[in-house]
Amino acid sequence: MTTQAITDNRKARHDYFLFDKYEAGLELKGSEVKAIRDGHCNLRDAFVRIARGEAFLINMHISPYRYTHDFVPEALRTRKLLLKKREIAKLYGQISQKGYACVPLRLYFKRNLVKVEIAVATKKKAYDKRETIKREIHKRETDRAMKQRLR
């Protein structure tokens, strides 16, 4: 099963502790798929909200496709996530607790369908972010030293 990555939400990985991950389809209109294929999308400030038993992706930016003339959907419109009822119920139970949120992690193609990976997350404190940065720097330095040692 091949997946082709479109965009990654690195800010979410930096700002949140991630727990359960889900794969969801995305309800798109008009030329949005063509714009996504061109890479004109952004997940940076996006989040998931559950209302009336349905999951919605809010604040995901898809720039209008430049060759479209008739129907141009709004760039920041709310888009419905395609999840099973059981998954939505489980997700709602998790994010209804105080301090938990649901954020999109990445957007990708899977068998020519646009999928979004979402995760239940809690916000990191400033000291947690500093610890993560220290760990990443340490890992980068050890990888660099190992690479030089192998030469």
pLDDT tens track, the chain, 151 positions: 667 788 888 888 888 888 889 999 999 887 888 888 888 888 888 899 999 989 999 999 888 888 877 777 777 889 999 999 999 999 999 988 888 999 999 999 998 889 999 999 998 888 888 888 898 999 999 999 988 888 7
Write down the pTM of the prediction: 0.80
Q: Considering the domain boundaries, does residue 133 fall inside one? A: no
- 111 within a domain of the structure (yes/no): yes
Residue 118 lies in domain = 3-124
CATH of the domain at 73: 2.40.280.10
Domain annotation covers residue 102: yes
| Number of domains making up the chain | 1
Pick from 17, 117, 96: which is nearest to 49 by CA?
Answer: 96
Residues 108, 101 contacting (CB under 8 angstroms): no
Q: What is the pLDDT of residues 54-63, one digit of tens each?
A: 999 999 988 8
